Amino acid sequence: MSERGGIALHCTLDGAVVERVCDELGLAGLLPGVMLASLVAPGSERKCERFVSEVRERGAAFHWELDLPVAGGVATLSFAGIRQEGSLLLIGARLFDDIFALYEELTRVNNEEVNLLRRAIKERVLMTQRGAEASALDELSRLNNELVNLQRDLARQNRALERLNEEKNTLLGIAAHDLRNPIASIKGHAALLLEAELDPEQRRRALEAIGRVSEHMLSLVNDLLDVSVIESGRLELRRERCDLSALLERRVEFFRLLGERKAIRVVARLAPALELAVDPTRFEQVVDNLISNAVKYSPHGSTVEVELSPGERGAQLVVRDHGPGLSEEDQRRLFGTFQRLSAKPTGGERSTGLGLAITQRVVAAHGGTIAVASTPGEGATFTVLLPDAPLARPAPTSAPAAVAIARGPIHVLVVDDDEDIRLAVELALSLEHGFEVCPCASLEAALEALAQFAPDLLLLDVEMPGHDGPSTLAALRQDARSAAAPAVFLTARAEPERAAGYRAAGAVDVIPKPFDLQTLRDRLRASLRGQGS
């Protein structure tokens, strides 16, 4: 039996030998009270302790290989054990199958306890297998759940994309429709001007109408561009420390004048000198939208209230009107794009249907929130909460080298391949004293013109065939006669990132097209004073 051979022990829960059920190995020192771990070969003690604790904790353990000292060396035995009430039965044999052979052997001596043990072990083996099956099933369920969750997310996102696409289509449709009307109006007035015999007053009215309608078209296109920039997540805030109180003061003053036409009083209660890190241009857009809406929908003779106060971690802006208010349905749709609500402007003002959508997104980009509270018939209150934010880097320093304010007329060298723009600039600047303009259609023409024209200022188109703004400027800088004149770029694409690039290329200001004439004049003067904005 020396090649086979096994051992069966009855131990305490700690692994101390209580009695020797069977020992075919002749293990030395196998006496009651001795710890089994002290009987195994050196190096196997800890493993033996783990085996005992596994049997104790789990009720059964199988296939534990332990080294035991036997006559003539060390034998590796496969151990199995079960816990029975307050004790452990541990069995070791040279091979796992031998454990069962050992049982057979023991059964022959009709050891009732061992019979019980055998039955118990068989049950355990079965249960362990079942347990393994169950945990495999659990694992499958887990995988399945993960898949279903993914599918759920996909279905949700799919739906969101569909909705977005629908919204885009609607937006496009409405935009096309909204642009067609003003174009028809411009076309009509232009035809009238060309064909009909109009007296000066009628001509003026027709031109004013064109101007007004173009203005509206421009704001619609600007709003659309804003929406597309914001929706695509490309809205970049240029935060700087900004005195909100002063900014609001200015805007409130402006809307006071506007409100006077409808005898609307704009009342402001502004906390003094409230500073926050915001994008001033974008914040002004928010302020303008809210106050102009309030004025737009307020009845004659009513009051619009504007309040600025320190918020919990920033500022709180409240704009309150006493207009018709908003139904619950309107309040829900308020911040969507092109939402036509039931309220109508009280002075025939126009609306692009995008203002509040933009406002909400700009506020959100600042990490703030906007909410509306309203009872139909009693006006509406918009509350903006704006948190402060640390500045990533110091605010950019203002434009380079100031140039002495020119005395006498300002000589402006204009380079633009678009004849209409050259004409518009020329008209705009010549209508007012103080400017002298030299319009050129190309860089080559400009270099030629320098022989007769000493420019104080360069006004350059950014997109010309063969030359962009920076390369045109670089070429002009090579010529001593135009090397020092400050340069202003004109462009239809004056997004902040591009504008920053143009400034880096040497422009003191970047004026977006289309521009209104007064803005052009003001900004050219400012550029010459070294205050390009």
Partner 1 sequence: MDLENLAQQYLELVLAGRRQLASTLILKAVEEGTPVKAVYLDVFQPALREVGRLWEENRISIAQEHLATAVTQLVMSQLYPRVFSSERRGLALVATCLGGELHEVGVRMVADFFEMGGWDTYYLGANTPDEAVVAELQRVNAALLGVSVTISSHLARAASLIKRVRAQRGLERLKILVGGLPFLAAPELSGELGADGTAVDAAGAVARGEELVR
Query: Interface with partner 1 by CB under 8 A: which residues?
Result: 133-134, 137-138, 140-142, 144-146, 148-149, 151-152, 155-156, 158-159, 163, 332
* Interacting residues of 272 by C-beta distance below 8 A, sequence separation 6+: 245
Min separation Cβ 137 and partner 1, Å: 5
Provide, rounded to whole angstroms, the least separation between the CB of residue 227 and partner 1.
Answer: 18
- Least Å distance between CB 342 and partner 1? 19
Q: Which is nearer to partner 1, 123 or 448 (CB)?
A: 123
Shortest spacing between CB 152 and partner 1, in angstroms:
6
Q: Report the nearest approach of partner 1 to the CB of residue 358 (Å).
A: 18
Report the distance separating Cα 240 and Cα 310, nearest Å: 18
Nearest to 280 by CA among 395, 381, 393, 179: 395
Alpha-carbon span 77 to 66, nearest angstrom:
5
As measured in angstroms, the least distance from the Cβ of 354 to partner 1 is: 19
- Per-residue CA distances from 260 to 246, 249, 257, 303, 396 (Å): 21, 17, 5, 11, 38
Cβ distance to partner 1 smaller for residue 161 or 172: 161
Q: Other C-beta atoms within 10 Å of 523: how many?
A: 19
Residue closer to partner 1, measured from CB, 133 or 516: 133
- Taking residue 11's Cβ as centre, other Cβ atoms within 10 Å add up to 22
- Which CB atom, from 256 or from 333, has the smaller least distance to partner 1? 333
Return the number of the residue (299 or 367) whose C-beta is nearest partner 1. 367
- Nearest CB to partner 1, comparing residues 234 and 332: 332
Name the residue nearer to partner 1 (CB basis): 95 or 161.
Answer: 161
For the bound state, the minimum distance from the C-beta of residue 367 to partner 1, rounded and expressed in Å, comes to 12
CB of 160 to partner 1, least distance (A): 8
| CB of 460 closer than 8 Å to CB of 490 | yes
DSSP class per residue in 345-413: -TT-----S-HHHHHHHHHHHTT-EEEEEE-TTS-EEEEEEEE----SSPPPP--SS--PPPPSPEEEE
Query: What are the angstrom distances between the C-alpha of 457 and each of 277, 376, 437, 444, 476?
Result: 34, 55, 10, 17, 12
**Alpha-carbon span 489 to 415, nearest angstrom:** 10
Q: Cβ 188 to partner 1, closest distance in Å?
A: 40
Dihedral sign, CA of 73, 94, 87, 37?
A: positive
Q: Tokens at residue 2, please? A: 């020396």
Cβ proximity to partner 1, 133 vs 432, nearer residue = 133
Q: Tell how strand 487-491 and strand 457-461 pair up.
A: parallel
Question: Judged by CB, which is closer to partner 1: 154, or 445?
Answer: 154
